[in-house]
Amino acid sequence: MAVWCFGSINIDHIYTLPHLPAPGETLAAGTYRSQLGGKGANQSVAAARAGAQVRHLGAVGADGAAARAKLEAAGVDCTGVQQLQGATGHAVIMVDPVGENVIVIHPGANRDLSLDAALAALTGVELDDILLLQNETAHQAAIAEAALGLGMDVIYSAAPFDLEAVQSVLPFINTLVMNAVEAAQLQDALGVDFMDLPVSNVIVTRGSEGASWSSRGMETIHAPALPVTVVDTTGAGDCFTGALAAALDSGAVPEQAMRFASAAAALQVTRAGTAEAMPTRADILALLGKSG
Cα 169 to chain center, whole Å?
16
Predicted local confidence at residue 103, as pLDDT: 85
* Residue 205: count of CB within 10 angstroms of its CB: 26
The question of whether 193 is a catalytic residue gets the answer no
Helix axes 254-268, 236-249, angle to 10 degrees: 140
Contact 283, 266 (CB under 8 A): no
Average pLDDT on 226-253 reads 94
Question: Does 97 sit behind a cis peptide bond, omega within 30 degrees of 0 on the bond before it?
Answer: no
Q: Which of 129, 238, 249, 283 is catalytic?
A: 238
What range does the domain containing 81 cover? 3-9+38-89+107-291
Identity of residue 193: D
Identity of residue 229: T
Interstrand relation of 101-106 and 130-133 (parallel, antiparallel or unpaired):
unpaired
Residues 6+ apart with CB under 8 A from 117: 82
Predicted local confidence at residue 195, as pLDDT: 77
pLDDT tens for 208-237 read 899 999 998 889 999 999 999 988 888 899
Residue 22: inside a domain: no
Residue 145: inside a domain: yes
Residue 14: inside a domain: no
* Residue 268: count of CB within 10 angstroms of its CB: 32
pLDDT tens for 255-290 read 999 999 999 999 999 998 889 999 999 999 999 987
Query: How many distinct structural domains can be found in the chain?
Result: 1
Residue 55: inside a domain: yes
**pLDDT > 70? residue 291:** no
Task: Please state, rounded to an integer, the average pLDDT across all residues of the chain.
Answer: 94
Contact 277, 271 (CB under 8 A): yes
Identity of residue 58: G
Residue 102: inside a domain: no
Residue 126: inside a domain: yes
Predicted local confidence at residue 292, as pLDDT: 57
Task: Name the phi and psi angles at 22, rounded to 5.
Answer: -85, 165
pLDDT tens for 148-194 read 999 999 999 999 999 999 999 999 999 999 999 999 999 888 888 87
Cα three-residue angle 9-274-77, rounded to 5 degrees: 45
Residue 28: inside a domain: no
Average pLDDT on 105-131 reads 95
- Quickly count helices (H) and strands (E) in the chain: 10, 13
Predicted local confidence at residue 100, as pLDDT: 80
Domain harbouring 221, CATH code: 3.40.1190.20
Of 5, 51, 4, 44, residue with least CA distance to 250 = 51
Residue 185: inside a domain: yes
DSSP bridge partners of 102: 94
pLDDT tens for 86-115 read 999 998 988 888 778 888 889 999 999 999
Average pLDDT on 7-17 reads 93
